[in-house]
Structure 1
Amino acid sequence: MVTAEAGRSHIVVVLYGSRGDIQPGVCLALELLERGHRVSAAAPPNLVEFARTLGVGEVYPIGTDTHTAWSSDEAADSRSRSPIARICYALKTVRDGFAAFDRSLTGLFVGDDAPLRDADLIVAAPLCQDRCLAVAEKLRIPLVVLRFGPMSENGVLGAVPGLTDSWSPEWKRRSWRLADRVTWLATGWNEASFRRRLGVPRVFGPLPKRLSALGVRQIQAYDPAIVPGVAEEWGAVKPVVGFFDLAPEHRAALGEWGGDRAELVSWLDTGEPPVFVSFGSMPIDDPDHLIALFSGAATELGCRVLFTLGERRGVDPLNPGVYYAGAMDHSGILPRCRAAVHHGGAGTTAAGLRAGLPTMICSVTADQPFWASRIAALGVGYGTRLRGLTGAIVRDGLGVVLSPEAAAAARRLSDQLVAAEKAVAAAAATVEEVLVAAS
């Protein structure tokens, strides 16, 4: 039971995955800190310092290094072999990662010496929902879930982008129920094992159905304009609040300019706005090949390119219309660009759309194909897969995002998006409502 006053509660935000999975949770943690709560966070070891640098002082490592797991030599070798080898490596990595995650989570919350045993509420990111539900039951405290895409039952969008687009609302709902059942059959044993470890009752059936039955609030951290109709269908139980982003002062703390800031600003000032090309934390086996594809197509189309890809830095000595940088602050650089090309992570997609940029998404995994399908459906870009990318596909995609029609549509959509500070504030208010109801 929650015993603390809602105005000074101990809220724990549990995060797992890549930086794109972590940053929205950090945004919410910072807002809750501003509101006077005690906030702890759990994050992969490689992203603990990221959260601390932004101002979340109480951060605990959980699970394994999520970057090394997918960018190691072993991972690269598996991707260069047969599909079976890739699947086997992925299964082993996921299994080992969640075994470490389970050990860490138990140590943080359960037992007399557990540092987070006095939590009043848990906020769980998408990859942590089933485990955090079990922990919340163990501690008899409420749970709030964060979602970065509309990945649960609804009658607006089906479970398989493209295939289910023309289905009726009822059949779209059925597609989600089928997808949830398949996921449960494939992974339910893993959740059952963790629940036995904690000593909480056994459960039956898919997690989304159980969350709904329990009335767990599921904050949808993406914009209602991207998925019109979903917010109205779900209502207050699954509030669609808007995309999160860091406040400028928190962004400044990261100091992300990807290299020589003065040189980059000078390059931006001396020509037309470039196309921004980045694939975030996605493992890229041959960045030089991707660079050649995009720089070649850009040269044909007469536009400049800013890459945050690979190890090169500075102006290309053979092509002054190409600049190479490291990871950088999207909110600072994207408004100075003409279009964006990326992997389709929810955070990168949001940053590009908020900057009013037509977008080409070359998806890799998870929810990325969904975002690729949405930007195409909304008329603000072009969606494809990264695997099998060719020069012809790149030229077609850039042709779409560089068109006046896509640029105008992207500007219109940008004007409709919820301001990031309002989205985060709405999410924090939801958390506080749950605290008050449970106290």
Structure 2
Amino acid sequence: MAHIVVVTLGTRGDVVPFLALGSALRDAGHRFTIATHGSLRTHVEGAGLGFAALPVEFGTSGPLTSTELARVLAGHWLEVGRAVAAASKDADLLLLGASGWIGYHVAQARGVPSMGAFLQPLEPTRAFPPALLTTRSLGGWGNLTAARAFRLLGQAPFARQTAALRRELGLPPRSPAATFRQMDAERWPVLHGFSPAVVPPPADWPAYRPVTGYWWPPPGGELSPRLQRFLDDGEPPVFVGFGSMTGHQLSDLIHRTGCRAVVQGSAGPDRAGPDRAGADSRNVLAVGDEPHAALFPRVAVAVHHAGAGTTAAALRAGVPAVCVPFTADQPFWAHRVAALGAGPPPLRRRGLTWQRLAGAIEAARGCRPGAAAIAAKLAAEDGVGRAVAEITRRLPVA
């Protein structure tokens, strides 16, 4: 039995896919620990997996840009590195999310293998620009150069504390640029946890950094009785939800469109209680946390922020989407939805009116064939199975 430690930071959406991998690897006889924010402990332990707390939280005051996320994380980076080192004392493999790469240095010091496990397409390529930077192509050479420069620039806030951790771990000094060169030279593997039908693997990505397919969470979770009654009582509604983003002003626009709708998140009971005045009406129901896997197949259109997890859940359900991206990789996924014919072009959050929202919802209704086509492709994939096979063959031989 091997002990696999995952290091992942971000929102709940950055942890849920690893619950799927962890459950499969646990069933195969391995021990699986997820090192992440303390606020996500219940999600990890509820799945029957090991948990280790990392000493940083991003808070819930509103959407953070990639720069703001990096600033918060950098302020705790040395402490995070120490916590990863403590959590992986008996690890046989470190599996590192996109924000958990401090574990690469820990694995070096421990003398155990590590590999990346990314939910976004972060590998530099000529095929498209950096997903966290822009959706506008810079040309083949420009896309590749920008991605490499952006990747290196992204290490600047962490360089001093990473160097301090390497000293504590007894490792020689190594610059971020030298670290990337070492990763490439040793053919450091990375698993990409999204579908090749959604993001076709670029020709210049190496085979040891495959796109496996999505890592769907284990089935489970039922709709609340209140929501179940609403769904049973009329035609399929429009879903409006923005995950961890602060989207209540956008959500309120749905009332003016006249659509029958389910509004989840910051406009629902989590924000001001289930009886918030004006939240519920005959046609609009405000709800809290509801499982997307059970809800999305029953809605007509999903209006969301294009987070990686929400985008994947809507595509899997075959529901067309109206994307209103906020930050980070959300514009990338929003444009992929449109490119796949699973929704209209994304809407700009600023200056959005109910008339534009209503028009986009109507356009999305006509995208159901495109959404159904991509859902059929996703149903034929086994992303968890392929990822588990890739992980297993890199475990040390007993």
Q: Does 2:43 match 1:70?
A: no
User: 1:319-338 alignment to 2 at 5 Å?
Assistant: 319-338=281-300
1:270 to 225, 233, 239: 233
Contact residue 275 and residue 338 of structure 1 kept, 8 A: yes
1:93 to 57, 64, 72: 72
Q: Does 2:203 match 1:224?
A: no
Structure 2 counterpart of 1:376: 338
Report the residue type matching 2:48 in the other structure: G
Distance 1:376-1:102 versus aligned 2 partners, 3 A rule? same
Q: RMSD between aligned alpha carbons? A: 2.7
Deviation string 1:273-321 (CA, Å, 9 cap, x unpaired) is 111111112245xx2x323212212x1xxx3111112325389687311
Report the residue type matching 1:162 in the other structure: T
Contact residue 275 and residue 306 of structure 1 kept, 8 A: yes
C-alpha distance in structure 2 between counterparts of 1:139 and 1:291, whole Å? 48
C-alpha distance in structure 1 between counterparts of 2:103 and 2:173, whole Å? 15
C-alpha distance in structure 2 between counterparts of 1:383 and 1:201, whole Å? 47
C-alpha distance in structure 2 between counterparts of 1:138 and 1:265, whole Å? 52
Q: Does 2:388 match 1:432?
A: no
1:401 to 364, 367, 375: 364
Structure 2 counterpart of 1:111: none
1:377 CA drift (Å): 2.0
Q: Which runs of 5+ in 1 are unaligned?
A: 1-7, 109-115
Contact residue 146 and residue 218 of structure 1 kept, 8 A: yes
Q: Does 2:303 match 1:341?
A: yes
C-alpha distance in structure 2 between counterparts of 1:343 and 1:411, whole Å? 20
C-alpha distance in structure 2 between counterparts of 1:150 and 1:60, whole Å? 26
Contact residue 316 and residue 379 of structure 2 kept, 8 A: no
1:233 CA drift (Å): 3.8
- Could you say what secondary structure the match of 2:99 adopts? helix
1:52 to 45, 68, 86: 45
Deviation string 1:366-399 (CA, Å, 9 cap, x unpaired) is 2111111211222222323434433344234323
Distance 1:188-1:418 versus aligned 2 partners, 3 A rule? farther
Structure 2 counterpart of 1:181: 152
Paired positions, count: 388
User: 1:244-323 alignment to 2 at 5 Å?
Assistant: 244-248=215-219, 251-252=220-221, 257=223, 261-284=224-247, 287=248, 289-297=249-257, 299=258, 303-309=259-265, 310=267, 311=269, 312-313=273-274, 319-323=281-285
1:53 CA drift (Å): 0.6
1:35 to 3, 28, 34: 28
Structure 2 counterpart of 1:121: 93
- Could you say what secondary structure the match of 2:263 adopts? strand
1:40 CA drift (Å): 2.0
C-alpha distance in structure 2 between counterparts of 1:349 and 1:410, whole Å? 11
Structure 2 counterpart of 1:10: 3
Which has the larger share of helix? Answer: 1
Contact residue 314 and residue 325 of structure 1 kept, 8 A: no
C-alpha distance in structure 2 between counterparts of 1:91 and 1:132, whole Å? 16
